[in-house]
Amino acid sequence: MKTIPLAEGIKLKTILTKKIQELVYEMHNNAHVIVEKGETPKQSGRALSEIEAELAEIRKDVRTLDRLIYRANIDHAIEFKGEKMPIVEAIELAKQLRAESSLYKDLGNTEKEKIYTTTGEGTVLYQIATYEPREYRERAIQLEKEAHRLSNLINAKNYEIHIEFDDSKYF
């Protein structure tokens, strides 16, 4: 059987998922026609059975790609910061690093001290950060760099790994 890089399998799955949406839309468009009473309806596009057959084939290929991608992500590992981990775990870690970086950016973009607006009696209140915003900005930058490095390792590995899938129907 033909093999393709895992990275291409991931891209193909995205393409096929979009194609499924397009075929469902096409089915909706071709499911009904408007005619005068007594007129015989004429098919304006492809027959639903033709679209259904293509849809079934693509859905099967998406399921196959899912299985192959998941298996490869479990069976293959990368090393990051001295730790070897399966790709699936590395993907989750990259997501977590980005989320943490985003949180720290938010914390880092606040002022250390600012006037707190009230509708009360004329007492001036202040909102004071209980941390150093600058430190969180710096931590956010570091975490973002780590996430980029990890993503690059994952992407490189995705081109090293090959999965058994014939993509000749699509390319």
Q: What is the pLDDT of residue 124?
A: 83
Q: What is the pLDDT of residue 133?
A: 97
- What global pTM score does this model have? 0.83
- Digit-by-digit pLDDT tens for the chain (171 residues) are 899 999 999 999 999 999 999 999 999 999 988 889 989 888 888 999 999 999 999 999 999 999 999 999 999 999 999 999 999 999 999 999 999 999 999 999 999 999 887 766 777 888 999 999 999 999 999 999 999 999 999 999 999 999 999 999 998
Q: What is the pLDDT of residue 33?
A: 87
Q: What is the pLDDT of residue 115?
A: 86
Token digits for 146? 């780590």
